[in-house]
Amino acid sequence: MRMYKGLSIILGFLFLGEAITKLTKIPVPGNVVGMVLLTLALLFGLVELRDVEEVATFLIRNMSVMFIPPGVGIILYWSMVRAQLLPISVALIASFAITIIFTAKTVELIRR
């Protein structure tokens, strides 16, 4: 029974997040708003951790398989991606190296 309770709570917050972004027209994904609201509900004791813990852990552990179907959508844009492979790869690699070093160095600086 707890699984249904947990799923209902999580889907309820997802729906709430989607409704809020739709009504306010803020350009933020509804699921992120739902996540923020659920965090607040847990902090304020409106939702109990043990009710949602199990389902949430299952969904998070199995999240990576959920990236496959949207990722496969790349076949619809393949010719465009192939034409722009150079800017895409250079930007991806350079931005990665700059971001990781910049962020770590900045944080290290303020901790001294």
| Near other proteins in 1-20, by CB under 8 A | 7, 10-11, 13-14, 17
The reply to whether 45 sits near other proteins by the rule CB under 8 A is no
The reply to whether 23 sits near other proteins by the rule CB under 8 A is no
| Residue 80 backbone zone (phi > 0: left; psi -120 to 50: alpha; other: beta) | alpha
Determine the Cα–Cα distance for residues 15 and 7; give it in Å rounded to an integer.
Answer: 12
Of positions 1, 4, 45, 76, contacts other proteins by CB under 8 A:
76
Q: How far is the CB of 44 from other proteins (least distance, A)?
A: 11
Cβ(18)–Cβ(37) below 8 Å: no
Q: How far is the CB of 5 from other proteins (least distance, A)?
A: 14
Of positions 3, 19, 46, 91, contacts other proteins by CB under 8 A:
91
